[in-house]
Structure 1
Amino acid sequence: MYDTIIDALRRNAADEALTAARELVASRPDDAQAHRWLATSLQQAGQSEAALASIDHAIALAPENADLHLARAGVLIGSRRIDEAQSALAASSGLDPNQFLAYLMQAQLALGRGDLDEAERLSRLAARVSPEHPLLAAVDGMVALRRGDADRALQIVSAASQVAPEEPQLRFALGFVYMAKQHWAFAEQAFRGIVDSNPAATNLRSLIADLVRRQGRPGEAADELEPLLANPATGHPGLHRYAGQLRLAAGHNEQALASLRAALAGNPRDRDALLGLIEAWRRLNAPDDARATLDAALATTSDSHELWLARLLFELVGSEQAAAVVERWLKAMPEHLPALEAQMTVLDLAGDAAGAEAIARRIVERESGRSSGEQRLVEALLARDEPKAAIERVQSLIERATDPQAKQGLRGWLGLVQDRAGRQADAVATWTGLAQEAAPMRLPLWPLTEAQQAWPPLAPLPQPLGARPLLLWGAPGSGVEAIAGAVNREGSYLRTDRFGPTPPQDGLQSYRTPAALVSGALTGQELIAGWRAALPARQVSGGNIVDWLLWWDNALLHALRPQLPEGMLLIALRDPRDMLLDWLAFGAPAPLAITDAQQGADWLAQLLDQVAALHEQDLYPHRLIRLDGIVHDAAAISAALGQALDTSMPPPPAASGARRFAEGHWRDYAQALKQPFAALTPVAQRLGYPEI
């Protein structure tokens, strides 16, 4: 949306850029970047004071945005400080100061529009007039910085600062260079120096506050903003929102609430202020204040989707009060689809299935294929025992879908509808087809080692006993992610990075580790030493961690038994046949490739045989956490985990938990998956599950 402005600026079409920027600001008055490009356009058009006012407005909207402060420094260099630069140049040189300043201003304009080559060219021309002038370093340093060479930028600006240590523009540049190098304290010092020498530079306080925040002192950062907040001329809603966010981070909840209330009152459409308020109300258990504040905001801004959703948060789902809020929402926004969806839910909860279905039809009439309406209509067909029509409706959506990702999601839903309709063989075919298509883009199944008889001795617990690391793992379909969710509510020990884009590069991540341990190419001591060495980079201190493993093989016991006796392995488990069905239908946290149900069953049986051996022989401290019948119940999972660890777990949020098939649902697939289940039945019995 900014490309038109930037293109005009690069062509030096100032009037065209200014027109486009003003149109953008008119359509997006709360967009800080729109005001930033208006400032650049005004500066290029020679309207310096208006440019400064525009960039100040941008900073008021997003006071924590360092790039906006950098842009403001450019406006100052190109306008307000020219008279000072001219005097300094005239005093030190017999050359024409106007020529130098013209080059300098044009260089700043080029920097403002991102044309670094042009800024560098103009700086060289200015240097011919006054090669030693310190203001050149402000341009050259910023060019180097924006090209990603912070070290060279620091060298340029530091050298000039030795010549003119009190020059504000060099301090500006130095502060931004330190920020690029993440030297937050040095950057803070540079900007404080400007404020100390020029108390009128109050706009820098929000930038200083952000630097203090980056040093881990959010409360002090909020204090830094108080003089600005107390002044009506500078206490903009965006600044109140930022102060409230800082107070929340510092745990100053009452002060946060006051600041965020002021922010929302000044700008009821500020989504970040609204999110901060919701968190403050949650911490303070203040639903009455939430209702009153949100109702006041809705009185002036009744067309805000976010405000209505927030208002609904503070009423019990299905209550008369919630229904009344939805009724008000529909009156204010009668054709708004989320409002219609809320009304559909209210009618369903009230037992008015026909009314909910009628709303669903209105929804799909307004937006063909909208998932909420389509799902409700398919549900109505299934409830009326019209499975063929339900399946055909989903199939028609698949045929009409043009987005590959949407089509894939609809096919997954088709499998679930086929399951509901009693078409188990069709459901298996649908899920298997999806899995086969996705297999080339997924991780291979890890190779499993053969069963072993000899293990190194389990070492005694270290004395004194310090950290007690927990290793969490579950095979595909086990519901292990539900345990991870319960652990995550307990504190900050869970690490899920093995499933992310930057996993730890240790032996517990590599598929090659089990074979290397069995062959002796890798020793247990080397494996655990590497695991420990990676902990600091994972923000783990003291050794206490819940490490969610990507894979498991009993070969790891060659390392864990002698080198980590104080650890404990938590294993999520369900009936293996339910696990296979769950894996086919819903996938797994680790995106593992599976080409057909038989392949998955054979591999899963071998893997769970290892689990059975570990459990039967008690090869390592462990707990089997059986999730049969509770995988959808977060409270029951927390209780099971607490029992396994002999501790109490915090209660989960209401309505949390995974959506999974009911326990024993595999029996409905006894024919459709007859051979795969035959491969799993022996290990199922070994783990304590019935044969049929």
Structure 2
Amino acid sequence: MQDTIIEALRRNASDEAIAAARQWVAAEPQQPQAHRWLALALQQHGDADAAQACIEQALALAPDDAALHLQHAGLLLAQRRIDDAGQALQRTTALNPNEFAAYLMQAHLALGREDIDEAERLGRMAARVEPDSPELGAIEGMVALRRGDADRALAVLSAASQRLPNDPRLLYALGFAYLAKDLLAFAEQAFRRVVELNPANPALRGLLVQLALRQGHADRAAETLREVLAMPDGDTPGMRRLAGELELASGQPLQALDYLRPLLAQLPGDRATLQLLLVAWQRLGREDEARSALDEALAAQAQLHDLWLARLAVAPVGSAEAVEVVERWLAAMPDHLPALEARMRLHDMNEDAAAAEAVARRIVALEPGRVSGEQRIVEALLARAPLDAVAHVQALIDAAPDAAHPELRVWLGAVQDRAGEPAAALATWLRLHGELAPSRLPLPPQAKAPAEWPPMGEVAADNPLRPLFVWGAPGSGVERVVTVMAAGSQVLRGDRFGPTPPADAFQNFHTLQRLANDTLSPGQFVQQWRDGLPARGIDDGNVIDWLLWWDNALLWALRPALPEGRLVVAVRDPRDMLLEWLALGAPAPLAVTSADEAARWLARALEQVAELHEQDLYTHLILRIDDAVNDPAAMGGLLEEAFGLRFPPVSSLGPGTLPAGHWRRYAQVLSAEFAHLTPVAVRLGYPDA
């Protein structure tokens, strides 16, 4: 539906857009995006009052949606400056190409309708007329924010806001830029300034409530919320939901129910309200009341997916009651795939494999290729006819679009592995690596050990900084270690694997060469790393930094310039590491062109780890995680033993991986590759066979 509306708006066919949006609103009245797109269509049509009403309805349903607030700001701008904004501004710029205000307003309207490229183009046009105007910063900053570049948005908008401190549009955008950087106190300050400039804004006050809650200031949130509910237009379902959330956060589930219970009739399918209600009922021990209230709502609205999920959540997992609820769900919505999936899982819980497979086949008959059904069918085939399971997945690949092939081939390899076909699995994995290699990083360079290492620097007794680096070669499972560490630490940083990694020497494969030819000194290396920590949310040097790669040659800088640092290296049996790398990839998207190349590179990387340990080149810990790689509790215990600290439990370490010793199934098909790895495996304490 959204695509239909966008296409109509692009063609300036606002009547078509309005009709489509109204149809969406009628079908999903609790969906804020439906009201949002209706507002956009009405805005383009020139019906500003109706557009305002629609965007306020969207904000009432989702008062903490940043995009809705930005759109609201754009709509307010359009209403202040011109009635029929789009057409009038087009006429103005056609008549006077040097009309700065017209370009600027058109750019704001383009932002409001999510046309980021057009907003950027109009900003450039305006810059030709008045290149030094701070209002250009508003456009540039908002464009950067919409494109996910929060750092640039924050810099541009901060500078523009200093020149126009009372511009609500800038303050709106600046607040969202702070939010994108998780700087909650600064975001709250910006939004409070907007409220001062525009007091009659209950939706924005609702956002202030959320911000106060996220910072742990329940008292401030309660005060703001009371102000909102006392406003003529403030007592809305969205605000009442916030009130219920606040009462729950304050440990008052009974008061939360007072706010939330009436919303079950007003917003029976609203997921956020249902989740809060379930929490309140559970804390009060009122499961019977929950069953009664939800059944009453379902009697009136039997087609609401989230309402059925809430009712199922009250039933004990796998119980006869759960079965009865799902059967009622299917009676009301017989072809609803999530209901069928719930029934399939219940059959499995009750060990009725045949019935579960039958439901799975019904699911894929309704939606061919649906993952839940296809996976259950493959599991059934693996149990009775493994080669048929392989053929089934291959048929799915043959029928799927090219874009889906990589993920399906990973699955095919796993099924071939489980079917006892190691040669076929290996061929599948290597083919996939070959296809992906052109789009991946080259294997990092590896340096030879110097004849003599620089001496370790002295660590002052009063130095409180103890930065910790974490690394594991591909296949080590280091990401599973990081999952547990992150649960217990606010200073762990995994941004080197994200879209905006730090631009320091640890991130650059040319660092070894620059250290070797003295174009980068040890002091510059470490200072550059330290200088980048504040932008990563680290005020001092105490950070747990998950590294993209490691080479002992980095110690040429770390030994003299960062002696207080520590290194944790995750390892498994090197042959298991190679197999997992080939089968499942690695957090660092490194190119693999052949199994032999990968094995030789991995052997050299692990030989460096052995040298690090044997020669005690740097304060370090070799963390062998073979027996904990698929066990969250065991991983937590391993880290507790290593660090003397208790780590919070985690429910999962991620998708399942190959168990320890699985490499032996591939001893024949990878014999030459394992021969490269066996010597270093023995050095690290693993058996030679």
Distance 1:303 1:122, change over 3 A: farther
CA 1:551 to 1:291, structure 2 compared with 1: closer, same or farther past 3 Å?
Answer: farther
Change (3 A) 1:145 1:297: same
Deviation at 1:236, TM superposition (A): 2.2
CA distance in structure 2 between the aligned counterparts of 1:309 and 1:533, rounded to whole angstroms = 49
> Aligned pair in 2 of structure 1 residues 472, 542: CA closer, same or farther (>3 Å)?
same
Partner Cα separation in structure 2 for residue 274 and residue 141 of structure 1: 43
Paired residue type of 1:597: A
Equivalent in the alignment of 1:446:
444
CA shift digits 1:371-397 (9 cap, x unpaired): 22222222222212x222222222222
Q: 1:253 to 1:514 in 2, by over 3 A?
A: farther
Cα deviation per residue 1:468-509 (whole Å; 9 max; x = unaligned)?
211111011111110010011113111111011111011111
In structure 1, the partner of 2:271 is 271
Tell me whether 1:691 sits opposite 2:684 in the alignment.
Answer: no
CA contact (8 A) 1:123 1:140 kept: no
- Distance change in 2, residues 1:154/1:45 (3 Å): closer
Which deviations, in whole Å up to 9, do the C-alpha atoms of 1:446-489 show, x marking residues without a partner?
01001334212223332213122111110111111100100111
Asked if 1:632 corresponds to 2:635, the answer is no
Q: Is structure 2 residue 142 aligned with structure 1 residue 174?
A: no
Higher alpha-carbon Rg? 1
Q: Deviation at 1:41?
A: 6.4
> Are 2:365 and 1:392 aligned?
no
Counterpart residue identity of residue 69, structure 2: A
Q: Which range moves more in the overlay, 326-335 or 271-280?
A: 271-280
Post-superposition offset of 1:531:
0.6
| Cα pair distance change 1:155/1:74, threshold 3 Å | closer
Correspondence for 2:531 among 508, 530, 533: 533
Once structures 1 and 2 are overlaid, which stretch shifts more, 659-668 or 18-27?
A: 18-27
**Aligned-partner residue type, residue 180 of structure 1:** A
Going from structure 1 to structure 2, the CA distance change for 1:542 and 1:395 (only over 3 Å counts) comes to same
Aligned length: 627
Does the aligned pair in 2 maintain the 1:205–1:225 contact within 8 Å? no
Counterpart-to-counterpart distance in 1, 2:136 and 2:407: 54
Partner of residue 85, structure 1: none
* Equivalent AA in structure 2 for residue 630 of structure 1: A
Kept after mapping to 1: 8 A contact 2:70/2:173: no
Equivalent position SS for 2:167? helix
Q: Please show how residues 446-595 of structure 1 align to structure 2 within 5 Å.
A: 446-595=444-593
**Distance in 2 between residues matched to 1:567 and 1:292, nearest whole Å:** 59
Contact 2:570 2:624 in 1 (8 A): yes
Secondary structure of 2:483's partner? Answer: helix
Q: Normalized against structure 1, the TM-score is what?
A: 0.79
Q: Distance in 1 between matches of 2:519 and 2:171?
A: 46
Q: Quote the Cα distance in structure 2 between the aligned partners of 1:262 and 1:119.
A: 50
Moved more, 31-40 or 346-355: 31-40
**CA shift in 2, pair 1:609/1:2, >3 Å:** closer
Whole-angstrom distance in 1 between the partners of 2:42 and 2:510: 61
Contact residue 533 and residue 540 of structure 2 kept, 8 A: no
2:661 is equivalent to residue 664 of structure 1: yes
Matching residue of 1:303: 303
For 2:668, give the aligned amino acid: Q
Cα deviation digits, residues 647-668 of structure 1 (max 9, x gap): 1111222x55541122111111
1:87 corresponds to:
none
Q: Which residue of 2 aligns with 1:353?
A: 353
Instruction: Measure the CA separation in 2 of the matches of 1:240 and 1:349.
Output: 38
CA contact (8 A) 2:78 2:105 kept: no
Q: CA offset at residue 46 of structure 1? A: 8.1
User: Partners of 1:43 and 1:630 in 2: how far apart?
Assistant: 57
Q: What amino acid is aligned across from residue 504 of structure 2 in structure 1?
A: D
Cα 1:634–1:444 shift into 2, 3 Å: same
Contact preservation (8 Å) 2:202, 2:234: no
User: How far is 1:67 from its partner?
Assistant: 3.4
> Structure 1 residue 152: deviation in Å?
3.4
Whether 1:66 and 2:69 are equivalent positions in the alignment is yes
Gaps of 5+ in 2: 110-121, 139-163, 176-185
**Aligned with 1:192 (options 192, 196, 200):** 196
What do the CA deviations read for 1:240-264 (whole angstroms, capped 9, x no partner)?
Answer: 345566788x877757776566655
Please, which moves more after superposition, 443-452 or 31-40?
31-40
Cα distance in 2, alignment partners of residues 314 and 406 from structure 1: 37
* Secondary structure, counterpart of 1:508 in structure 2: helix
Instruction: State which drifts further: 439-448 or 541-550.
Output: 541-550
Could you tell which deviates more after superposition, 216-225 or 371-380? Answer: 216-225
Distance, in Å, in 1 between the alignment partners of 2:134 and 2:299 is 52
Distance in 2 separating the partners of 1:547 and 1:286: 43
Distance 1:281 1:596 in 2: 57
| CA distance in structure 2 between the aligned counterparts of 1:408 and 1:691, rounded to whole angstroms | 34
**Distance change in 2, residues 1:33/1:323 (3 Å):** closer
Mapped partners of 2:165, 2:30: distance in 1: 26
CA distance in 2, matches of 1:505, 1:190: 35
User: SS of 2:471's equivalent?
Assistant: strand
Q: Is the 8 A contact 1:634 1:652 kept in 2?
A: yes
1: CA distance, partners of 2:508 / 2:266: 53
RMSD: 3.9
Other-structure match for 1:650 = 648
Counterpart of 2:667, as a letter, is A
Deviation at 1:50, TM superposition (A): 5.1
TM-score using structure 2 length: 0.80
**Match for residue 676 of structure 2 among 675, 679, 684:** 679
In the other structure, the counterpart of 1:167 is none
Aligned equivalents of 2:568 and 2:275: distance in 1?
Answer: 35
Residues 541/452 of structure 1: CA separation in 2 closer, same or farther (3 Å cut): same
Pairwise CA distance, 1:358: 1.8
Give CA deviations for 1:282-317 in whole Å, capped at 9, x if unaligned: 9x6979487676556545443333344455556664
- Code of the residue aligned with 1:152 in structure 2: it is S
Q: Structure 1 residues 506 and 10, CA, compared in 2 at 3 Å: closer, same or farther?
A: closer
Aligned to 1:117: 90
Which stretch shows the higher mean deviation, 36-45 or 627-636?
36-45
Q: Quickly say closer, same or farther: Cα 1:351–1:541, change in 2 above 3 A.
A: same
Q: Note the 1:84-483 alignment, pairs <5 A.
A: 107-111=82-86, 116-118=89-91, 142-143=105-106, 147=122, 152=133, 174-182=167-175, 185=189, 188-189=192-193, 191-195=195-199, 201=200, 204-210=201-207, 219=218, 220=220, 223-229=223-229, 234-242=234-242, 263=263, 265-274=265-274, 288=287, 297-313=297-313, 317-384=317-384, 386-401=385-400, 403-483=401-481
Report the CA distance shift for 1:13/1:611 in structure 2 as closer, same or farther (over 3 A).
closer
Distance 2:299 2:245 in 1: 25
Task: Tell me by how many angstroms 1:8 deviates.
Answer: 7.5
Structure 1 CA distance for aligned equivalents of residues 310 and 444 of structure 2 = 45
In structure 1, what is the equivalent of residue 608 of structure 2?
A: 610
The one-character-per-residue Cα deviations of 1:400-419 (angstroms, maximum 9, x if unpaired) are 22x22322222221111111
Q: Note closer, same or farther for the CA distance 1:43–1:498 as it changes in structure 2 (3 Å cut).
A: closer
Q: Distance in 1 between matches of 2:661 and 2:506?
A: 33
Tell me the distance in 2 between the aligned counterparts of 1:122 and 1:356.
69
Q: CA deviation at 1:116?
A: 4.2
Distance in 1 (CA, whole Å) between partners of 2:556 and 2:196 is 58
8 Å CA contact retained: 1:631, 1:657? no
**Could you tell me how far apart the structure 1 residues matched to 2:447 and 2:524 are?**
19
**Deviation per residue, 1:42-99 (Å, 9 max, x gap):** 678887765554444343234343235336635864xxxxxxxxxxxxxxxxxxxxxx
**8 Å contact kept, 1:58–1:68:** no
Q: Which amino acid aligns with 2:83?
A: Q
Query: What is the DSSP-based 3-state SS (H/G/I as helix, E as strand, rest coil) of the residue aligned with 2:617?
Result: coil
